């Protein structure tokens, strides 16, 4: 007789192998343990959330409004157009157009000198004809001084050419030009009319008694008298 046919469960003979029965009991015990542990975690989380909500709740305080103030406020609110403050960050903006309020606003009589907010057109004639006051400022005459003082100008520039004219050579032919002998320190310079000495002093005119020179930088002229050679070398 096989072991499966001899298996008894609660006094009843069952034709199942005992190994299968043992495996089924183990699986059933594992399922019961998992279910019990999961329900315990959910219960703990629910208790924690309930405690947090209860702790963070703020108990509103009762406000006492005097009857006289409420009646005065209700009477003043009847003639005031109020707008509900909307927080746009929460997404509860109401896009509905309140045509009834627009009609009430349009029914309000505008002053005669103003413009209507609901009509497009030129400004009223009364506002256009209002002249802007302006003041004309006439400049006064500037009187000149009766006795002006003498005009003080800059002193004239004086030129001092550091050359000594000590000799004159007349031309021997028609093609030749007059030449003069000049002394600058120990240097002897021979220059003709129209030449520059030291790239600055122009020989304008030469005569046997003087030499007319011009400082081209300051545009001033000076006549150099002829001096004897002995005095020029001193």
Q: Is 62 domain-assigned? A: no
Name the residue range of residue 29's domain.
8-51
What pLDDT is stored for residue 21 in this prediction?
79
What pLDDT is stored for residue 59 in this prediction?
47
Q: Is 134 domain-assigned? A: no
The distance between the two most distant Cα atoms of the chain, rounded to a whole number of Å, is: 174
Total domains in the fold of the chain: 2
78 CB contacts (<8 Å, ≥6 apart)? none
Angle at 149 between CA 145 and CA 150, to 5 degrees: 140
What pLDDT is stored for residue 74 in this prediction?
57
Q: Is 222 domain-assigned? A: yes
Q: Is 226 domain-assigned? A: yes
What pLDDT is stored for residue 53 in this prediction?
45
Cα 213 to Cα 200: distance, rounded to the nearest angstrom: 10
Pair of tokens at residue 211: 């030499």
CATH number of residue 226's parent domain: 2.30.30.830
Query: Along the 234 residues of the chain, how does pLDDT read in single tens digits?
Result: 455 555 666 666 666 777 887 888 899 999 998 888 887 666 666 555 554 544 444 445 545 545 555 555 555 556 566 767 767 677 667 777 888 888 888 887 766 666 666 666 666 565 556 666 777 887 777 776 666 666 666 666 678 888 999 888 888 887 788 899 999 888 899 999 999 999 999 999 999 999 999 999 999 999 999 988 766 566
Cα 168 to Cα 209: distance, rounded to the nearest angstrom: 8
């Amino acid at each position: 007789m096989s072991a499966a046919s001899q298996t008894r469960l609660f006094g009843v003979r069952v034709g199942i192998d005992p190994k299968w029965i043992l495996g089924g009991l183990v699986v059933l015990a594992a399922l019961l343990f998992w279910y019990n542990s999961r329900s315990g975690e959910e219960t703990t989380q629910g208790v924690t959330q309930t405690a947090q909500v209860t702790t963070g709740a703020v108990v509103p305080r009762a406000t006492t409004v005097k009857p006289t103030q409420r009646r005065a406020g209700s009477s003043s609110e009847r003639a005031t157009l109020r707008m509900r403050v909307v927080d746009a960050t929460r997404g509860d903006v109401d896009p509905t157009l309140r045509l009834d309020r627009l009609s009430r606003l349009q029914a309000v009589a505008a002053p005669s000198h103003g413009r209507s907010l609901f009509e497009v057109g030129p400004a009223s004639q009364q506002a256009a004809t209002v002249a802007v006051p302006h003041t004309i400022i006439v400049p006064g005459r500037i009187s000149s001084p009766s006795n002006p003082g003498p005009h003080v100008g800059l002193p004239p520039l004086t030129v001092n050419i550091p050359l000594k004219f000590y000799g004159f050579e007349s031309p021997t032919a028609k093609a030749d030009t007059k030449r003069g002998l000049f002394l600058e320190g120990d240097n002897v310079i021979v220059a003709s009319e129209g030449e520059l000495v030291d790239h600055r002093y122009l020989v304008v005119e030469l005569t046997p008694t003087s030499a007319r020179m011009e400082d081209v930088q300051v545009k001033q002229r000076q006549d150099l008298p002829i001096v004897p050679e002995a005095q020029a070398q001193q």
